[in-house]
Amino acid sequence: MSVSAEDIFNKIMDAAETAFNEGWVVVKNYAPAEFRKMAVQLESIAENVAAFEIDKSQGYSPATGKVLFRMQRRATEAVLIAVTQLTLMAVEKALNAIIKVVKEAFGAALAAAL
């Protein structure tokens, strides 16, 4: 049995793409949803501070708005770290899929040669 570089390359590409896409779907679903939540929250902070300025029994004070804004920045950091971790997991899946293909390719070639 011959070892074809082209054949192995194609198998590696297929395996890596499939594995990476499986992990990447999680990132693609998670990140935009969280960024949308951030936009909604920032709008809500502005609206509630404005409501308080008109009627002190409504919304919340600018001081509270300031703390909530700080919390939102912190949440942004958390989302970006999570996205990084999820991306790493997608890369990890792709790398392991490649190793599996290579192992199978050489295992089969070895069995045939012996």
Partner 1 sequence: MNRILALLGMAMLVSACGSIRLVSDYDEVIDRGVTEFSEQLSTHAKNMSELAGKPDGTYEATLMKYNALDSKIEGLITRARNNSDGKICKLHRETLARIKVLMKEQTPSQLQEGTDVSTATENSCSSRLLELARDQLSDIRTIHRDIDKCGPGMDISCLRPATSKDALAIAMQSANAVAIVETAKKSR
Binding residues (CB under 8 A) for partner 1: these are 3, 23, 26, 30, 34, 37-38, 41, 44-45, 48, 51, 56, 58-61, 63-64, 67-68, 70-89, 91-93, 95-96, 99, 102-103, 106-107, 109-110, 113-114
Closest CB 32 distance from partner 1, rounded Å: 13
- In the complex with partner 1, the residue whose CB is nearer, 13 or 35, is 35
Query: 10 Å Cβ neighbour count for 60?
Result: 14
Closest CB 52 distance from partner 1, rounded Å: 8
Q: How far apart are CA 103 and CA 110, in angstroms?
A: 10
Closest CB 114 distance from partner 1, rounded Å: 7
Are 17 and 77 spatial neighbours (Cβ–Cβ below 8 Å)?
no
Token code pair at residue 14: 């297929």
Kindly report the CA angle at 16 between 10 and 17, in degrees rounded to 5?
A: 90
